[in-house]
């Protein structure tokens, strides 16, 4: 066992410049003298990244289920990801918990006027597991979302209680369709049943939130104009800090700052390209938004990793799609728009095509997991201390149902999740049962019910302690 004997550095240390505040990753010097790394995963330090991808999955169809297009054939630990859209996650199977066959009943129509509005209420149900009030006015109501219940517990310990990110355009106002306010479609994060939280689409805006503490609009405009880095404003602070750090801490600090700089370079390159006058695929998007879906998603993942590493926040919700989007994903090998592809008319060839889009979306997650795995955190890595939740509140999008909805977890949640397990639930099991179990894994054992939950699930499989 090794002990750390260097001068203690506060975990809340921030390197400050004019309109800049850069929090630090966890360093040896932040532990009290003669403290061992072992046991430094304190309760409440688990990070949460909740990701929604709309339109369900090909595997929720009768044909797709027979071909195991989403859920593996075998339950337990001997599952085969080969036929499934989860195949890209194979390198991380030991950190993977698949939860199959859950339903999201609260996304269904309860009354006659609600029929047909599945696309316009589903996202609001995903992390709340509550049924939205049908309204196009300001009297919206659904439920407090899972991410915000966790943020209410741990957010006081971080500079930013939570952050909400998205990829698609979600700045619409007023009513959408079938009598639903657009806010139900535009966010997955609800601070209270009547308080939706806005999602950030522009990576520049998210970057400035994380590192632009105290910056004025004029400060930001000046930095963008001369392409300077926020790190240029804290050069002296960094140099002084390095003098007090041991060799390992210097390396870790250097890698962390370089990660920030690389993210900043990419944002600057995107802004320069989008301001050049060249044609854009999405001319209506903010200047910091790349046209490439892959580039946009991976940039948002990188922002989450540096925020988790520095403990700026422990909670992210990330909306990777918007219902009824016709966006085309060339990297998937499918030229049909997302929404049209989801209405496959139960044709086997078109269901197979839709699975390619599902696989492409899931195929972006390993980038995030690899970054988490490569980032030290205490005596482990961020992947050890993070819970990534990925799913959809819709099942078979062709008929807008909410059965056999896709859902998986990744990461070990500070040791609370063993991973490497496929849990197949009985027919009719609410997804809310899985969400309640996630809350318990995150340390909120006092939460006895969530949405339409009936009982928590054992996410670690037979023989493991139920959480």
Q: H-helix or E-strand containing 410? A: strand 407-410
Q: What token pair was written down for 174?
A: 């007023």
- Please report the pLDDT score of residue 222 as a whole number: 65
Structural domains of the chain ordered from first start: 1-40+211-288 (no CATH), 41-201+293-467 (3.40.720)
Dist. CA 13–CA 5, nearest whole Å: 19
Give one word for 160, left, alpha or beta, with left for phi > 0 and alpha for psi -120 to 50. beta
Q: Note the pLDDT tens digit of each residue in 103-152.
A: 999 999 999 999 999 999 999 999 999 999 999 999 999 999 999 999 99
Residue 228 has pLDDT above 90, yes or no: no
CB 302 within 8 Å of CB 165: no
Q: Of 1-10, 35-44, 421-430, where does mean pLDDT reach its minimum? A: 35-44
Dist. CA 432–CA 105, nearest whole Å: 9
Share of the chain above pLDDT 90, in %: 82
Q: Closest Cα to residue 401, out of 102, 186, 123, 104? A: 104
- Please report the pLDDT score of residue 31 as a whole number: 75
Q: H-helix or E-strand containing 67? A: none
CB 22 within 8 Å of CB 258: no
**How large is the average pLDDT for residues 379-390?**
96
- Please report the pLDDT score of residue 34 as a whole number: 46
**How large is the average pLDDT for residues 358-379?**
96
Dist. CA 268–CA 227, nearest whole Å: 7
Q: Which phi and psi (to 5°) does residue 408 adopt?
A: -150, 160
- Please report the pLDDT score of residue 173 as a whole number: 55
Question: How would residue 20 be classed by pLDDT, with cut points 50, 70 and 90?
Answer: confident
- HSE, side-chain direction, 13 A CA sphere, residue 133: 12
Let me know the angle formed at the C-alpha of 369 by 364 and 371, rounded to the nearest 5 degrees.
Answer: 105
Total length of the chain? 467
- Please report the pLDDT score of residue 467 as a whole number: 33
Dist. CA 453–CA 365, nearest whole Å: 27
Residue 466 has pLDDT above 60, yes or no: no
More confident residue, 174 or 158: 158
Other CB atoms within 10 Å distance of the CB of residue 17: 20
Its sign, for the CA torsion 449, 455, 460, 466, is: positive
- Please report the pLDDT score of residue 185 as a whole number: 94
Dist. CA 67–CA 82, nearest whole Å: 11
Q: H-helix or E-strand containing 239? A: helix 235-243
Task: Tell me whether residue 61 is exposed, middle or buried, using C-beta atoms within 10 angstroms of its C-beta: 0 to 12, 13 to 18, 19 or more.
Answer: buried
Residue 182 has pLDDT above 80, yes or no: yes
Q: Note the pLDDT tens digit of each residue in 241-298.
A: 999 899 999 999 999 999 999 999 999 999 999 999 999 988 889 999 999 999 999 9
Residue 302 has pLDDT above 80, yes or no: yes
- Please report the pLDDT score of residue 226 as a whole number: 61
- Please report the pLDDT score of residue 1 as a whole number: 32
CB 341 within 8 Å of CB 334: yes
Question: How would residue 19 be classed by pLDDT, with cut points 50, 70 and 90?
Answer: confident
Share of the chain above pLDDT 70, in %: 90
Dist. CA 296–CA 440, nearest whole Å: 32
């Amino acid at each position: 066992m090794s002990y750390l004997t260097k001068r203690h550095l506060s975990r809340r240390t921030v390197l400050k410049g004019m309109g800049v505040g850069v929090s630090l990753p966890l360093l040896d010097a932040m532990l009290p003298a003669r403290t061992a790394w072992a046991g430094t995963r304190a309760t409440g330090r688990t990070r949460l990244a909740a990701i929604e991808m709309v339109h369900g999955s090909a595997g929720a169809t009768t044909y797709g289920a027979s071909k195991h297009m989403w859920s593996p054939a075998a339950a337990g630990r001997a599952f085969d990801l080969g036929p499934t859209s989860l195949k890209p996650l194979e390198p991380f199977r030991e950190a993977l918990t698949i939860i199959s066959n859950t339903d999201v009943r609260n996304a269904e129509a309860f009354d006659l006027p609600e029929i047909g509005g599945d696309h316009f209420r589903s996202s609001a149900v995903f992390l709340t597991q509550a049924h939205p009030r049908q309204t196009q006015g300001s009297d919206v109501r659904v439920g407090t979302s899972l991410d915000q219940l966790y943020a209410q517990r741990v957010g006081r310990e971080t500079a930013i209680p939570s952050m909400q990110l998205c990829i698609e355009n979600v700045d619409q106002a007023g009513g959408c369709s079938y009598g639903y306010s657009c806010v139900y479609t535009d966010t997955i994060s609800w601070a209270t049943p009547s308080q939706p939280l806005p999602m950030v689409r522009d990576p520049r805006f998210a970057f400035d939130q994380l590192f632009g503490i105290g910056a004025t609009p004029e400060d930001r405009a000046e930095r963008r104009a001369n392409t300077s880095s926020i790190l240029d404003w804290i050069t002296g602070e960094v140099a002084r800090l390095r003098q007090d750090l041991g060799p390992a801490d210097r390396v870790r600090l250097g890698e962390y700052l370089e990660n920030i700089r690389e993210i900043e370079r990419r944002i600057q390159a995107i802004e320069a390209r989008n301001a050049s006058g060249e044609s854009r695929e999405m001319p209506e998007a903010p200047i910091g938004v790349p046209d490439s879906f892959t580039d946009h998603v991976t940039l948002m993942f990188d922002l989450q990793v540096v925020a988790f590493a520095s403990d700026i926040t422990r909670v992210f919700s990330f909306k990777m799609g918007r219902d009824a989007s016709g966006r085309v994903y060339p990297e998937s090998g499918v030229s049909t728009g997302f929404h049209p592809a989801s209405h496959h008319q139960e044709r086997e060839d078109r269901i197979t095509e839709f699975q390619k889009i599902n696989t492409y979306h899931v195929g972006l997650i390993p980038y995030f997991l690899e970054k988490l795995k490569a980032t030290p955190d205490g005596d482990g890595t961020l992947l050890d201390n993070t819970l990534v939740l990925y799913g959809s509140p819709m099942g078979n999008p062709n008929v807008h149902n909410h059965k056999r909805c896709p859902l998986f977890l990744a990461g070990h949640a500070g040791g609370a999740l063993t991973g490497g397990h496929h849990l197949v639930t009985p027919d009719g099991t609410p997804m809310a049962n899985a969400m309640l179990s996630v809350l318990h894994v995150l340390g909120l054992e006092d939460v006895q019910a969530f949405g339409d939950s009936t009982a928590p699930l054992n996410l670690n499989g037979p023989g493991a302690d139920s959480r």
